Amino acid sequence: MLLAAAPAAPSPPHTGGLLALIGGTGGLLTVAALGIALLLVLIIKVRLQPFVALLAVSIAVGLAAGLSVTELFGTVQKSNAVSLIENGMGGTLGHIAIIIGLGTMLGSILEVSGGAEALSSRLLGLFGEKRAPLAMGLTGLIFGIPVFFDVGIFVLAPIVYAATKRSGKSILLYAMPLLAGLSMTHAFLPPHPGPVAAAGLLHVDLGWVIVMGIATGVPAVLAGWAYAAWIGKRVHVPVPADMVEAAEEAKAAVRAERRAAGAGDGEGAEKPVSMGALAAIIGTPLVLILLATFSSIAFDPSTGRSVLEFFGNPFVALTIALFLAYYLLGIRRGWSRKSLETVSTASLKPVGNILLVVGAGGVFGAVLKGSGVAQALADTFDSAGLPVIVLAWLISVVLRVAQGSATVAIVTTAGIVAPMLSAGDFSQAHLALVIMAISAGSIFASHVNDGGFWMVAKYFGISERDTLKSWTVLESVLSVAGFVVAAVLSVFI
């Protein structure tokens, strides 16, 4: 069970660097503390780009822990010498780069085609005016699976404005359920970078991450919706008129740019989006991945199982979903092939920063492991008697609150807890629950050092004080609820 601390394996001896002065486990722990402190200072105070900060701290920690230059960088001749930096970067990105790239293009097609607006309108029509907050929450939950958090806000904010104007109630009543759905899927479910990165670092099948993400995320988002309903009735925030106007202007500008670029021209592109098409596009990769995961458990090796595992490979499943989106939302509705290429290419421009930060986090984890620092941390935490899943959440919470980036919190925490897990006989389901604890910790208490805090405040016209009361507490509710469910499940699974 996860509530038992993992046994620790001996850490590799390194006697150079700072360890020569302090020695042993104490020196390794000092290196770890100084490294994490330096990372936080560089990101928070110096405002250094997280990729650069992670890379610099990885090198500093490695040298301080006594690693040689050859161990860190390899040799000029590229002989058999192991390069921790190259292996950490390549090993991490080799797993997640394709998934993030495909997921980003899929989300962009759904956004530009009007899929989000169509889904929201249908849900609002089904639930009616009185249940509009629930409709907004479901919109965020469903649409949040294939698109990034900030994209979801950009696309769905005008619908929140419209619902608020019609009702005359606080915008928090509609914005917070939407944000809860977007935040939960972003933190707990693939193909979002956080859970995908953690799965790669801890070698967990994405099917199990999806299963446990749903199992822990759904109760978390229900708790978030309950808090959203409570705070929405107590803090009145009117709809921001300037943001409504800006959203309309931005929408018109996007349409004009698409027409100029040949994307979205023609009457076919303006046809309504089919709900069946949206369900097929969003549901296909999830179903295929889950079928592959459970076929490996339920069936003996066979041709049928091999077929399911092939189509359920995340790379294949997301490629199929992307081709479905190309056809159902693009070609069948009048888009040209050039339009599809333009939208897909443009969507990849913001991905570079995400990939570099996640890759640098993999480097940090590799250096921690290779130098013995991570094992020393694991030994210390093990002796403290706290369960692994609790430690994973606490470390992630501290890193999140201190520096603001959920991705940095996830990849750093995964590198720290990996030795605690590698020495134990944990199943894929158990490891997936640890990832859920890490992911839950990474969204705790979003505040002024988090870009998402300011995005929520500015897009919905909420004062900083009211954003702390609503958004910051909402994120904490999601985090705690998700962690509690993960911890309880770990006792029985």
DSSP 243-255: HHHHHHHHHHHHH
d(CA 59, CA 73): 9
pLDDT at residue 250 in the model: 45
Which amino acid, residue 282? I
Residue 309 inside a domain? The answer is: yes
d(CA 349, CA 372): 37
H helices present in 203-302, as ranges? 206-232, 241-261, 275-298
Residue 435 inside a domain? The answer is: no
pLDDT at residue 486 in the model: 97
Q: Which position has the token pair 């303006």?
A: 270
Specify whether the CB–CB gap between 5 and 387 falls below 8 A: yes
H helices present in 46-171, as ranges? 50-64, 69-73, 84-112, 115-127, 132-143, 149-167
**Mean pLDDT of each 10-residue bin along the chain, 493 residues long:** 39 49 69 84 85 90 87 67 80 79 82 76 80 90 83 77 84 95 93 89 93 96 96 91 56 56 46 84 86 81 90 90 92 85 83 82 81 74 80 90 83 85 85 97 87 83 90 97 97 89
Taking the CA atoms of 397, 472, 223 and 155 in sequence, report the sign of the dihedral they define. negative
pLDDT at residue 265 in the model: 46
Residue 101 inside a domain? The answer is: yes
Eight-state DSSP code of residue 328: I
d(CA 94, CA 306): 22
Longest CA pairwise span in the chain (Å): 73
pLDDT at residue 328 in the model: 92
Specify whether the CB–CB gap between 232 and 238 falls below 8 A: no
For the entire predicted model, the pTM comes to: 0.75
Taking the CA atoms of 118, 161, 134 and 487 in sequence, report the sign of the dihedral they define. positive
Residue 272 inside a domain? The answer is: yes
Specify whether the CB–CB gap between 414 and 201 falls below 8 A: yes
Q: Which position has the token pair 């208490």?
A: 445
d(CA 116, CA 111): 6
- Structural domain harbouring 115: 95-225+241-347
Residue 73 inside a domain? The answer is: no
pLDDT at residue 16 in the model: 54
Residue 122 inside a domain? The answer is: yes
Q: Which position has the token pair 């106007």?
A: 245
d(CA 364, CA 459): 34
Q: How many CB atoms lie within 10 A of CB 76?
A: 6
d(CA 88, CA 86): 5
Residue 291 inside a domain? The answer is: yes
Which amino acid, residue 314? P
Dihedral, CA atoms, 326, 329, 333, 335, nearest 10 degrees?
A: -40
Specify whether the CB–CB gap between 168 and 129 falls below 8 A: no
pLDDT at residue 256 in the model: 61
Residue 452 inside a domain? The answer is: no
pLDDT at residue 68 in the model: 85
Eight-state DSSP code of residue 268: G
Q: Which position has the token pair 């093990």?
A: 382
d(CA 474, CA 69): 46
Domain count of the fold of the chain: 1
The CA radius of gyration of the chain, in Å to the nearest whole number, is 23
Three-class DSSP labels, 178-202:
HHHHHHHHHHHCCCCHHHHHHHHHH
Specify whether the CB–CB gap between 332 and 30 falls below 8 A: no
Specify whether the CB–CB gap between 224 and 184 falls below 8 A: yes
Q: Which position has the token pair 């020495």?
A: 423
